[in-house]
Structure 1
Amino acid sequence: MSPAFRLGAVGFGLIAVCYGFARFAFGLFLPRIDADLGLGSTLAGAIAGGSFLGYCLAIIASASLTERMGARAVAVGAALVAAVGMAGIAMAPNAVWLAAAVMIAGSSTGLASPPMAAAVSAVVRRDRRDATNSAINAGTSAGVALSGPVALMITGQWRLAFAAFAVLALGLAVATARSVPRTPSRRDVGPKPERQPERQPERQNDVGRNGARRDPRPARGLPTLTDDLARLIAAAFLMGAASTALWSFGGQLLSLRFGWDARGIGIFWTAIGTAGIAGAWAGGLVSRFGINRLHLTFLGIMASGMVAAGSAAATPASALIGGALFGAAYVMLTGIYLIWGVSALPHRPATGLMVGFLTIAIGQTIGAPLFGILMDGLGADPAVLTFATLGMTAALARCRSHASAIMGECH
């Protein structure tokens, strides 16, 4: 097995555990957790927002730590944090404990993504990186798809489920330590300044096609806010906020609409995750159709899926179809933002990914409690329609990055 293939497989598994189990499985088990701990929609939304807040804080630290310490240590840390957080959820006796554990578990996702982007840049040849990053990113869907059957088998025993997820995370920590490279390639992040002092004066004239200045030294700190990064931030924020309608409240909506128990919600969750595997092809589709066209198309698919699954007009059949549309669109869109961010900062792949994924999580941090408030105050239907419309506004932000320039989208 080649190092690149092994890295892709382990990265896929790490993302599946951190995203599918540690972050998004909370929405799957929320109706049962709510019944046991008496949360209510507003408090449940605040706790879900805490998971996304943990992600925001962790992904900033992860990008910096990856550039300083290398990919392996940070990726292993992500798996261990996921294990601790999910074990905490399994033992939670009250809402306060649960909120803290959910936040820790959510932090693991922020830690996981930047080191994988850096590892791909170090191990995978350049013409395969977008495809490999997209495939790893699709691990989210595998985790979501697997959590659905778990819910079906244990009929809502959420404590047992999260305990099992924690054990899986420990196993992934071992596999990650064996497969992820210790440090990124110097060719991709640049040598240390003392190794090539004679090249430093050339930095003033070394500018990439996307307008970003290239620096042979490893960059540190926050990136310069270019026009393309600003557009990425706007799009990712709006999409992330809108997605919380189903990620955080999908189970609640289906329980409200159809009286579904853990079995029905588990089937819905499986539909989301299984369809989301389509996101593995984001890299190839971007190369063929361009970021902007794909972005608009899948924002429309995501909004349609939300309405089909959660609006007052939903039926049991449309809910399952809507979940599948939502899952495919969400993972595809995160793949698009990953490629957008890495192409905007080609010499800082971990930071480029961090910008897009951090902004998605900030949107989710704000979106989850806002949806809970709207659902309590106005009802489920207005809340779903409002968030579906919110997601479509992300299409107003158009990519002007290096990836788009290659395909003739920018002039």
Structure 2
Amino acid sequence: MSPFLKLSAAGFAATAISYGPARMGFGLFLAQFKEAFGISTTVAGLISAGGFAGFLLGLIGAYAATAWRGPRLPVIVGLTFATIGMIVVAVASNAGVLALGVILAMTSAGFGWSPYNNAVHQQVTEGLRSRSLSIVSTGTSLGAAMAGAVALALMLGGASWRIAWIAFAGAGLAALVGNWVAMRDVAGNPGRGRTNWRAICVMPALPLYLTALSFGITTTIYISFATDSVAQAGGLAGLPDGGSPAVMFIIYGIAGLAALGTAAIKDRIGLPLLVRGLLLVSALSLALIALSPNSWIGVGAASASQGIFVMMMSAVLAFWSERLFPELPAFSFTATLLAVAMGSIVGPALAGFLSNAFSSSAMFLGAAALSAATAIGMLPRFVQEEPLDCGQDASPLPAH
């Protein structure tokens, strides 16, 4: 099997688990967790924020591990965290144990994606790198759809949500073994693992980091609260209690498979138009959850739009950072994901409090406004992808 196929398939499986049930499972089953453990929306927001804080620490650990022993080690660590965390959730007896499992599982996302920029840069020819990174990032689609399908099947059969988490853990173990084998050629080989903060903290990279920050805030608000908002509004007609979140994740995941064509779309319309268009898709998705939380058309369109946005923007962030900083592929992408992680911590925690203080609709409209404002700010002259000289003293980002 060629390096392109091998790494693309392994990375697809890794992100399917780490960014699928491990990262999104808490939001998918939030209504059941509230009932089983008596947690409030504010507490749910804090648990979610804790998980994304683990994601932030995972990013730092992933870069250090990649620089030390190559990209296979952090991917294996991440999938181990995912498997153990999902087992802990499955056997949780109280809210504290649940929180521990959720945080462990969500931490895996920090380890399981960024090392692939390094692995792909080492093993895949330049002309196929954007396509490979798009496939890796789109694994989230399969993970989300799989999680939703398992949840719906169990609910229709009257089975416990705990069985779903046991199934997720089994899939995590399978992905762990597959990545152990597929990444053998990059084990112990750090590749281009240099660190140069001065090189990446330059003005041409500012749109990348601002987009990543906005992406982190809005997507985690959707992941953490959209399904609960729909459930609180009465759910979708014709579905059993708890069925709406599962259907939303299935639609989200299937629509996100469109991201397999992200690189081709970018080549056709250009990066600036693609970035602005995706941010407007995000705004539409969040606004629909606020305005039509119990409409099949509204919720279906919101789920599909969010799936397309998340998967395509994930691919964009991966190859945008790699193109800007080809000499620092792992480090530049880690820095981009740190911006995502900062937004991911702030988003759920702030959204939980705003939802209680005002309303769920107001919270989602605020998130939609943020996506729209980011789109307006991404003027074509500011968005570039031409490689930057990492040894050159470019204009640094302002201190304030």
TM-score (structure 2 length as normaliser): 0.89
Match of 1:15 in 2: 15
Q: Aligned match of 1:220 in 195, 212, 217? A: 195
Q: Name the counterpart of 1:163.
A: 166
How far apart are residue 327 of structure 1 and its match? Answer: 0.6
**Residues in 1 aligned to 2:61 and 2:386: alpha-carbon distance in whole angstroms:** 26
Match of 1:297 in 2: 277
1:146 and 2:146 are equivalent in the alignment: yes
1:93 aligns with: 93
Partner of 2:235: 259
- Letter of the 1:162 partner, please give it: W
Contact 1:52–1:364 under 8 Å retained in 2: yes
**Aligned partners of 2:68 and 2:190 also within 8 Å:** no
* Contact 1:71 1:182 survives alignment (8 Å): no
Residues 43-52 or 287-296, more deviating? 287-296
* 1:65-214 equivalence runs, <5 A: 65-155=65-155, 157-183=160-186, 189=192
SS of match in other structure, 1:400? coil
Residue from 187, 205, 219 that aligns with 1:243: 219
Distance 1:105 1:386 in 2: 28
In 2, Cα distance between equivalents of 1:254 and 1:42:
17
Q: Which residue among 363, 366, 372 is the counterpart of 2:346?
A: 366
1:379 aligns with 2:363: no
Per-residue displacement from partner, 1:226-268 (whole Å, max 9, x unpaired)?
A: 1133332222111211122321011111111233522222111
Structure 1 pair 91/222, CA: closer, same or farther in 2 (3 Å)? farther
> What is the match of residue 49 of structure 1?
49
1:39 is paired with a residue of what secondary structure? coil
Q: Larger deviation: 90-99 or 370-379?
A: 90-99
Aligned residue pairs total 377
How far 1:140 sits from its partner (Å)? 0.6
Distance of 1:326 and 1:10 partners within structure 2: 25
Q: What is the SS of the residue equivalent to 1:93?
A: coil
The 8 Å contact of residues 291 and 404 in structure 1, kept in 2 or not, is answered as no
Which residue does the alignment assign to 1:310?
Answer: 290
Aligned to 1:345: 325
Residue segments in structure 2 that go unaligned for 5+ positions in a row: 390-400
Does the 8 A contact of 1:286 with 1:294 survive in 2? yes
1:403 Cα deviation from its structure 2 partner: 6.0
Q: Distance in 2 between matches of 1:266 and 1:14?
A: 21
Separation in structure 2 between the aligned mates of residue 236 and residue 126 of structure 1, nearest angstrom? 24
Deviations 1:169-210 (A, max 9, x none): 111111111101443898962xxxxxxxxxxxxxxxxxxxxx
Return the letter of the residue paired with 2:121.
S
Aligned match of 2:266: 286
Gaps of 5+ in 1: 190-217, 406-411
- Give 1:92 shift: 1.7
Distance in 1 between residues matched to 2:290 and 2:163, nearest whole Å: 28
Distance across 2 between alignment mates of 1:185 and 1:284: 33
The whole-number CA distance in structure 2 between the counterparts of 1:332 and 1:26 is: 22
Residue 198 of structure 1: aligned partner: none
CA contact (8 A) 2:71 2:189 kept: no
TM superposition shift of 1:313: 7.1
Q: Tell me, yes or no, if the aligned pair for 2:71 and 2:190 is still in contact at 8 Å.
A: no
Residues 377-408 of structure 1: CA deviation (Å, up to 9, x unaligned)? 10111111111001222221442332699xxx
Displacement after TM superposition at 1:341 (Å) = 1.5
SS at match of 1:24: helix
Structure 1, residues 29-87: CA drift from partner, whole Å, max 9, x if none? Answer: 11011110011110001111111111111112212211221112221121111111111
Task: Give, in whole Å, the separation in 1 of the partners of 2:290 and 2:387.
Answer: 35
- Cα distance in 2 between the residues matched to 1:146 and 1:310: 26
Q: 1:392 to 1:184 in 2, by over 3 A?
A: farther
Q: In 2, distance between residues paired with 1:115 and 1:184? A: 11
